Amino acid sequence: MTRIDPKFGKKLKRYGAFDYDACYNCGTCTSVCSLAKKDEEFPREMVRYSATGNQDEILSSLKPWLCYYCGECSTNCPRSANPGELMMSLRRWLTARYDWTGISGLLFTSLKATVIALLTVAAGVILFAFFMNFDPEAVMKYGHYFEMAAISGVFAVILLPNLIRMWYFTVIKPGYKVSFKAYFIALKELFIHMFTQKRALGCDDNRKRWFEHFILVIGYLTLLFTTVFLDWFGTDSLYVIVGGYIVSAIVFIVTADFVTGRIKKSKEISRHSRPSDWLFVIWLLLMGLTAFIVRIAIDTDILHDNFWIYLIHLTILAQWALIIVPFGKWTHFIYRSFAIYFSKLTSN
């Protein structure tokens, strides 16, 4: 027996959901959904749980992550109840619930908190540079250490515990019995989906978007790996430099296309952008852009005299690594692929 909880709806609205209470449960959304299957039906069910405030059902469900926001549900909804945007909001809410620190929830629901967080990190970077006497060599050296420390720290302290919480809520608590072997067998799914987002191809007319998204993920992972772990910023190899320019240029164009998509609201998915969505794409763009400029500055040998260029890049990077990655939209990279992994485990 679950008590109906109307307050849940009010909470959900702060995560971006709107008008979903206009739903009269015709089920058009589920029937037009290209991704819903017989034993994985959504989004109507999730709309219903949201309307009656059944948090337990939503928290234990992986379905919000299985939705890739093709938008057909919202386009075809006879009541304009925006089921697609509700699923998006549920993903934000779930991200907040998985996060043990509670910071995600704060940032998703308060623009003020987000701005304060961004400013705090920026001030920290400036302060750090100040203590280094704005010495480019030292700042860049420690900046590089910081990058590595931030990535491993965020993973160990925030992302891993949150992932374990997700696993507990969706696999353990609902009582699925999964054999040890099954965890290994399903790993294949995890990696395929993590690096290819294959499932998104299931949306109709989504090849271009999928391809762009794919380029982005691979592009940024490459940049991350080459710059942070191999420190190719300091390289002299012409191949690497030219290759770097090309990769950066492609990633840029694609990111810029994502940003303009959100500005133009051309597709259902980009129609109702929240601050968290803007933050994600804009910082992605800025990160690439500043890295690119830094690269040019290094190659034209002007960085030393224009050190602020690197400082801006470092600020963007720090904000990205300390705010957006652990508590923002970046986490969908992990949760989406793990949702498919867990879903594979629980469906057997």
- Point out which residues bind another protein (CB under 8 A): 1-4, 6, 9, 19, 21-25, 45, 48-49, 51-52, 54, 57, 79
Nearer to another protein, 73 or 200 (CB): 73
Residues in the chain: 348
Q: Provide the token pair at 221.
A: 């992972």
The greatest distance separating any two alpha carbons of the chain, rounded to the nearest whole angstrom, comes to: 69
| Cis upstream peptide for 43 (omega within 30°) | yes
Cα distance between residue 302 and residue 219, in whole Å = 26
**DSSP line for 175-190:** T----HHHHHHTHHHH
In the complex, the smallest distance separating the C-beta of residue 40 from another protein, rounded to whole angstroms, is: 14
- Residue 40, beta-bridge partner list: 37
Q: What is d(CA 157, CA 144) in angstroms, rounded to the nearest whole number?
A: 20
Residue 139 has, within 13 A of its CA and on its CB side, a CA count of 24
Between residues 21 and 212, which has the closer beta carbon with respect to another protein?
21
Instruction: Residue 84: name the closest of 133, 156, 6, 23 by CA.
Output: 23
| Half-sphere exposure in the Cβ direction for 126 (13 Å, CA) | 7
Both tokens of residue 213?
A: 């998204």
Shortest Cβ 17–another protein spacing (Å)? 13
| Residue 39 Cβ vs another protein, minimum distance, rounded to whole Å | 13
Nearer to another protein, 54 or 109 (CB): 54
Residues 14-24 as b or e (16 or more Cβ within 10 Å = b):
ebbbebbbebe
Pick 17 or 318: Cβ nearer another protein:
17
For another protein, give the closer residue by CB, 79 or 165: 79
| CB 308 to another protein: min, Å | 51
- Cβ atoms of 11 and 50 within 8 Å: the answer is no
Smaller CB separation from another protein, 54 or 170: 54
Q: How far is the CB of 1 from another protein (least distance, A)?
A: 5
Assess contact for 42 and 36: CB atoms under 8 A.
Answer: yes
Query: How many CB atoms are closer than 10 A to CB 83?
Result: 30
Q: How far is the CB of 50 from another protein (least distance, A)?
A: 11
Query: Would you call 307 helix, strand, or coil by DSSP?
Result: coil
Of 7 and 181, nearer to another protein (C-beta) is 7
Closer Cβ to another protein, 53 or 288, answer by number = 53
Q: How far is the CB of 346 from another protein (least distance, A)?
A: 18
Report in angstroms how near the CB of residue 343 gets to another protein at its nearest: 19
